Structure 1
Amino acid sequence: MLDEGFTYGGLLMGLAALVLWIRLALRAFPSVETMIARYQDEFVVPEARSHGELGRIAACATAMALTFSAIGYAIPD
C-alpha cells in the first residue's frame, strides 16, 4: 500500500511537472500580435516575462516526481 502511494504519487507529480514544463515552453514563444507588429515595422514593447520562479517550481516538481517514483518502485510488495 505504501509503495503504491509513492508510485502513483510520483506519476501524478510527474504529470503536474509536465504541465508546468509545457506552460514554460509555450510562454517562451512570442505572441501572434507581437510577430505581426514586427513585420509591420511598428514599435514593439518587449514582453517582460519572468520565467525564473515557474522554472524553479517545475524543476522541483520533476525532482519530487522522480524521488517518489524511485521510492515506490524500490519498496518490495
Structure 2
Amino acid sequence: MLDDSFTYGGLILGLTALALWIRLALRALPSVETMIARYQDERIVTESPSHGGMGRLAACATAMAVTFSAIGYALPG
C-alpha cells in the first residue's frame, strides 16, 4: 500500500511538473503580434518576461516526482 502511494504520487507529481514545463515553454515563445512588431520596427527592444519562481517550482516538482517514483518502485509490494 505504501509503495503504491509513492508510485502514484510520483506519477501525479510528474504530470504536474510536465504541465509546468509546458507552460514555461509556451510563455517563452513570443506572440505573433510581437514578432510582427519586431519585424516592422527594429528599434523595439522587448525585455524577456520574468517567470518568477515558476522554473524553480517546475524543477522541484520534477525532483520530487523522480524521488517518489524511485521510492515507490524500490519498496517491495
TM-score (norm 1): 0.89
Q: Which amino acid aligns with 2:56?
A: R
In the aligned structure 2, how far is the partner of 1:74 from the partner of 1:25? 32
Task: Indicate conservation of the 8 Å contact 1:14/1:61, yes or no.
Answer: yes
Gaps of 5+ in 2: none
Q: Which amino acid aligns with 1:66?
A: V
Name 1:18's counterpart in structure 2: 18
**1:23-52 CA-partner distances (Å, limit 9, x unpaired):** 111111111110011122275351451134
Gaps of 5+ in 1: none
Name 1:32's counterpart in structure 2: 32
In the aligned structure 2, how far is the partner of 1:50 from the partner of 1:63? 22
Task: Indicate conservation of the 8 Å contact 1:6/1:71, yes or no.
Answer: yes
Name 2:73's counterpart in structure 1: 73
Percent identical pairs in the alignment equals: 77
Task: Indicate conservation of the 8 Å contact 1:37/1:43, yes or no.
Answer: no
Off by >6 Å, runs of 4+ in structure 1: none
Alpha carbon RMSD of aligned pairs, Å? 1.6
How many residue pairs align between the two structures? 77
